Amino acid sequence: MKKLFGTDGVRGTANTEPMTSETALKLGRAAAYVFKKDNRRHQIVIGKDTRLSGYMLENALVSGICSMGVDVILVGPLPTPGIAFITRSLRADAGVVISASHNTYEDNGIKFFSNQGVKLPVALERKMEELIFTGEIDHIRPTATDVGKAYRDDDANGRYVEFVKNSLPKGLTLDGMRIALDCANGAAYKVAPKILRELGAEVILYNDHPDGTNINKNCGSLHPEVIRKAVIDHKVDVGISLDGDADRVILADDQAKEVDGDFILAICALDMIKQHRLKDNALVGTVMSNMGLELAIQKAGGKMYKADVGDRYVIEEMMKRDVLLGGEQSGHILFREYTTTGDGMITALQVLNIMKRTGKPLSHLAKCMEKMPQVLINVRVKAKTPFEDIEEIKSEITRIHRKLDGKGRLLTRYSGTENIARVMIEGHDIDTINDLAEELAALIKKKLGQ
């Protein structure tokens, strides 16, 4: 059977398969079918980021869902975690996000949340694919008053702003703080500055004028150099850089140094351990997490579990281990005591809370972890051929493992959302690991590159 879903929903170039209106309509019909439990009126929330193609896909999804007798609540541009929250808050049957996250505007994606605000299990995604490709539900055609209707919820932004603010202790404000904020011309361009300003911060805004084509364009969490420069230009206390759907964040400290997801996890985990708020003193990272994070946690008497790369796998591992904190180097951090998915603004507020409570600048807090030298090279490929199936690549990987001799590590993997091979090497000597990574990346490009 054909496959639509990847590690983060359905994604591709907008207006080519599978990101066409026709497939979006079928996805809407399949979602309405699997979430319709009985004869009552059902509701599905749909939100999106700021991509031009969002209008096209939104209308197709609405048509598909309503054609199955299910109502739609439209919330417009809102961060992915905001849609997960609104789905729970409104007690809707499911939520849909139209976004390709950190990708450029030409791409788009569709991902689904359950009524609990968590991403769907693989089995349910496979069921939706089966319904689409077999035509099993093509004959279901409600008529008259049984057809669904769509309407807008103009209160969604305000609900989400209050939800995020409530992740801070009562009475704590950001009075006196100067913050630079890069909204990536994405889904948080309205709510993120509102959250910070309502908490009392002075906010200098960057990339808050989306035009449908500039989302993530030389800005946001994939371009932390923008917010680092903003820290210098405006002499702010901290810089906050979100991605297009605002489920991840990268920070810049008062010295204009990048503070990525590993440092954020270390800062928050160590603070929670001190306050006896981190259950079993455990957190979840990924196989890409820097070794420095694990060493910092172990030194404080904690432990770190490792999941595969991808927020789906981090969350699954957190649920399995009953862990309250987890995340990725990319800045996708999940605080289970507050929310069900990664949230860039909730993450930023937790760090700001520690800064305010301790009176220490972010540059000081980030010293809690010493980052081991790490090199990451991305190679665009034609196909995701298993590395072990190509003898030269397999032999080179074996050679690098021998060269590292237990004093570093090599990780090779394919992106779950793009045709990209990732080569990551950690070790004590940056020149050595850089040479090894470049040699392997060059070989992968030669054998598999576009």
Residues assigned a catalytic role: 101
**How far, CA to CA in Å, does 335 sit from each of 128, 282, 284, 359?**
29, 13, 11, 23
Instruction: Report how far residue 44's alpha carbon sits from residue 91's, in angstroms, rounded to the nearest whole number.
Output: 9
- What is the phi/psi pair of residue 420, to 5°? -135, 130
Q: Which residues contact 22 (CB under 8 A, 6 or more apart)?
A: 60
Lookup: tokens for 172: 């704590």
Count Cα atoms within 13 angstroms, Cβ side, for 86.
32
Q: What is the DSSP string of 149-186?
A: -EEE-TTHHHHHHHHHHTTSPTT---TT-EEEEE-TTS
Is the previous residue joined to 18 through a cis bond, with omega within 30 degrees of 0? yes
CB-based contact 32:42 (threshold 8 Å): yes
CB-based contact 254:361 (threshold 8 Å): yes
How many C-beta atoms lie closer than 10 Å to residue 195's C-beta?
26
β-pairing verdict for 107-114 and 43-48: unpaired
Instruction: Report how far residue 103's alpha carbon sits from residue 10's, in angstroms, rounded to the nearest whole number.
Output: 13
**E strands present in 340-419:** 374-380, 408-414
- How far the first Cα of the chain sits from its last, in Å, is 27
Tell me the H-state helices in 154-300. 156-165, 191-198, 225-234, 261-274, 291-299
